[in-house]
Structure 1
């Protein structure tokens, strides 16, 4: 069950327009890498410390591959790719590495996760 609440947002193109309310997902907690290692270890014959070591190694290698500009395909989990935000410039010839303001991570979920997203149930909470 995904908790949602109403969040007001103004129109940045018309600051005088009244705010509209949008549904916003509210997290109910978080799960750590250690917890995931524990959960995985209880579902197979691998020890918790081994699962944790594999997850840490995978995280290191995913970061390394992303820093090389590669898309990381995690199979049924999905794909990770680096994206950038940059200044808008008047001509293509003006674009350089100096225009990049920040990098972010794009994630495209695999079919199973997309199916999960399509079947979520929601609960409206107060304030």
Structure 2
């Protein structure tokens, strides 16, 4: 199966009025696997019942934040690794570095080797879509189009 993408129009960052608009490929994200479908897929490929699959996933979801809040990375083998990264202010002297120097913490996911390999074989297909409005293809709005519609 292929990953569908759509065409999106984006303004030039940091330029008043948007600057020159360009068109980019963007993943079409209208399809999502919910928990029930995911659990049923696991159940269909294993010897455990649906309730046990739910129980294991719920426990997994509870443990991930617990380990991360302890500062531990979680290595899930071929899937990849979850870890917390921080951003901090720089100081001239090491003694000045404290918890107050930390400005941001964020969750990182680093895919494992096997997952990276599989992702490298991904095929992309342009999603069928409605015709691009004339004002989007020309870069200038037609009469009646607002600047709000341009930014979309």
> Structure 2 regions of 5+ residues with no counterpart?
133-152
CA distance in 1, matches of 2:97, 2:23: 37
| Deviation readout 1:56-94 (Å, 9 max, x if unpaired) | 1011111100111111001111100112456xx563567
Structure number with higher strand proportion: 1
Instruction: Please provide the CA RMSD for this pair.
Output: 2.4
- Output the TM-score relative to the length of structure 2: 0.68
Number of residue pairs matched by the alignment: 124
SS at match of 1:11: coil
- Output the TM-score relative to the length of structure 1: 0.79
> Structure 1 regions of 5+ residues with no counterpart?
none
**Residue 21 of structure 1, CA deviation:** 2.5
Aligned to 2:107: 105
CA distance in 2, matches of 1:92, 1:38: 55
Bigger Cα Rg: 2
**Residue 26 of structure 1, CA deviation:** 1.4
- 1:32-43 correspondence to structure 2 within 5 Å: 32-43=34-45
Q: Which of structure 1's runs of 4+ aligned residues deviate more than 3 A?
A: 14-17, 89-103
